[in-house]
Amino acid sequence: MSLDAVITLVVLISFLVVAVSGRIAVDIALALCMTALLVFGVLTPSEAFEGFSNPAIFIIASFYIVSSALKESGALHWWIMRWLGKNKSVKGAIPLIMAPVAVSSSVISNTPVVAIFIPLIQDWARRHNVSVSKLLIPLSYASILGGTCTLIGTSTNIIIVGMLQGSPEAESLNLFSPAAVGLPLILVGIGYFVLIGHHLLPERKSLGEDLIDTRQYAVSMRVEEGGVLAGMSIADAGLRHLQYSFLSEIQSKGHVIPAVGPEEILSGNDILVFVGQPEAVSELRQFRGLTPAESEVLELDVPYSSRALIEAVVSPVSNMIGKTVKESTFRTLFGGVILSISRNGKRINEKVGSIVIKPGDTLLLEAARGFVRRHRYNRDFLLLSRIDDATIPDVSRAPVALGLLGLFIVVVLLGLMSLVSASLLLVAGLAVTRCISLEFAQRSIDMRVILAIGASLSLGFALQKTGLADIAAQGIMSLADGNPFINLLLLYLVTVAATELITNNAAAVLMFPLAQALSTELDVSLLPFVMTIMFAASASFLTPFGYQTNLMVQGPGGYQFSDYFRVGLLLSILVGVMVVFLVPIVWPF
């Protein structure tokens, strides 16, 4: 093994350790890998930065804009509200939810699709007295399966097409080529949840319980010294029977009083910890003599009349991860205050300032009413939603946006224009017709994903250049004894494992050189191996952090880590069997 190969191997192992531990965001870790390979001379500058000129980068950037335009125009909302029925059971609602999500995700980025559906499903669940935790994992998994149906359905597919650029294999694929396997996967996914999966989904909310919600927060209030509540009992103060929360404990003069009784007397500067729904904040602010315990709320330079309550899900690439709330300097960076944090649907029993932020945490924020608009495309958040004022989309541009997307699909299918050219033209059309403003178009591009993809392509090139991909391929071949089908199965398993640990895009890029080496060593077509990676890199059903949409539904659904594994294990096996069986039939060796 050459010195360059050893350096590349050390860089790769370091990346895997850091990515799995979650200490550094994946995009930053990949950028550091690219820098190390460049500094140690494994790659030349042109080789290191070649990934950023890949057509996949421009296609992905274009579809971030397209997705935002469809969301801003209300196109998905316009369609969805005509599809979802009324008075349906959970078993009947699941296919009605999964089918449109899968169709939408086949041509639109999964993240905005899931972001639009979450509040709609929450509203439906509340109206029908159904636990929302019965519906949100199917939502996420449907978006994942739907994304496998086209070459533009996920950034993973676009990356693989970009790496195939100019090859005979790329010429043999069209926009809907993956649908030959993707459509059966969607049917299997829907059938699984209708027949089996809905029994495995947790029910975090008991029917008829008013206080228990899918997200529980701890909200701290301080009794004003000399205020009207000082010296009153809990019952007399009206804090015994609240609509949205209950009094969990009192922190008085250095002592904690749990299991608070109605006769407990309040003293000035007592800290009252309430547990319940996010609406509890507005309810508690109405009590004279109670003020927010967090001093930052009082220091927020926004009039109370102009503030709003907001929920935000922390992105896996957020700079806040690993920092305490105090260390994150949230108020300085974003102009808002973190009131509480919900993790896996439950409150965290610590002082807010000392809580260490993790991916998937749901933050309860107080900020100016324009916070959601200003930070809608900020990559620190996966999902932003106003609690006290639901926004109804303006559907006037929806037909135009959907029409332009349909025209794009026709142009690509007929081969009138390349995928990258058609994508850029679609963006221009959306801008000209004002389906999206230039400001939103610019802000909607996730530069961290672009960085991660460009940097990961350089790491993939290093694996190929140094011969490490060939060594790995020979290792797999020795296990499979030269059988192409067994090699395909092993490649699928390795890719799924990498996806669950280091995200789908990084897994696809790292496995692509291995697929090339396997096809060369076995002297068979590259296409079945590449398509296997395409499907395997999206098959993230076992963990919340393998795929962004899984993280997005974790907080709103109140899911725990074990829920994903319990619900997704059998589906993961079914999808794996289908892929390994169908891929060699559709794309022979």
How large a percentage of the chain has pLDDT more than 70?
Answer: 89
pLDDT above 70 for 76 = no
Q: Determine the pLDDT at residue 586.
A: 93
Q: Determine the pLDDT at residue 212.
A: 42
Q: pLDDT tens for residues 206-252?
A: 333 343 445 678 888 889 888 888 888 888 887 876 767 888 888 88
Q: Determine the pLDDT at residue 308.
A: 79
**What mean pLDDT comes out for the span 314-325?**
89
Q: pLDDT tens for residues 411-424?
A: 888 878 887 888 88
Q: Which helix (H) or strand (E) holds 462?
A: helix 447-465
Residue with tokens 């679609």: 426
**Quick check: do 217-296 and 308-386 share a fold?**
yes
Q: Determine the pLDDT at residue 585.
A: 94
Q: Which amino acid is residue 2, in one-letter code?
A: S
pLDDT above 60 for 82 = no
* CA–CA dist 507, 510 (Å, integer): 5
Domain residue spans in the chain? 3-204+405-586, 217-296, 308-386
* CA–CA dist 536, 360 (Å, integer): 23
Q: pLDDT tens for residues 276-291?
A: 887 778 778 767 788 8
pLDDT above 80 for 587 = yes
Q: pLDDT tens for residues 246-276?
A: 888 888 887 888 778 888 889 898 988 888 8
How large a percentage of the chain has pLDDT more than 90?
Answer: 15
Q: Determine the pLDDT at residue 385.
A: 75
- Tell me how far the alpha carbon of residue 379 is from its chain's centroid: 11
pLDDT above 70 for 88 = no
Q: Determine the pLDDT at residue 346.
A: 80
pLDDT above 90 for 8 = no
**What mean pLDDT comes out for the span 522-546?**
88
Q: Determine the pLDDT at residue 189.
A: 95
**What mean pLDDT comes out for the span 74-82?**
59
pLDDT above 80 for 369 = no
Q: Determine the pLDDT at residue 392.
A: 37
**What mean pLDDT comes out for the span 309-330?**
89
Number of continuous H segments (helices) and E segments (strands) in the chain: 27, 10
Q: How confident is the model at residue 205 (pLDDT cuts 50, 70, 90)?
A: low
Residue 87 token pair = 């008075």
Residue 349 token pair = 């029993």
Query: Superfamily assignment of 308-386 in CATH?
Result: Regulator of K+ conductance, C-terminal domain (3.30.70.1450)
**What mean pLDDT comes out for the span 62-73?**
75
- Of residues 89 and 46, more confidence is placed in 46
* CA–CA dist 436, 432 (Å, integer): 9
pLDDT above 50 for 37 = yes
pLDDT above 70 for 2 = yes
Q: Determine the pLDDT at residue 78.
A: 55
CB 465 within 8 A of CB 41: no
Q: Determine the pLDDT at residue 213.
A: 47
Q: Determine the pLDDT at residue 158.
A: 83
pLDDT above 80 for 4 = yes
Mean pLDDT of the chain: 82
Cα-Cα end-to-end distance for the chain: 30
Q: Determine the pLDDT at residue 303.
A: 65
* CA–CA dist 530, 524 (Å, integer): 12
Q: Determine the pLDDT at residue 146.
A: 93
**Best CA proximity match to 184, nearest among 150, 145, 158:** 145
pLDDT above 70 for 452 = yes
Helix axes 468-480, 447-465, angle to 10 degrees: 70
Q: How confident is the model at residue 304 (pLDDT cuts 50, 70, 90)?
A: low
Q: How confident is the model at residue 84 (pLDDT cuts 50, 70, 90)?
A: low
CATH number of 217-296: 3.30.70.1450
CA distances from 538 to 33, 284, 561 (A): 23, 44, 19
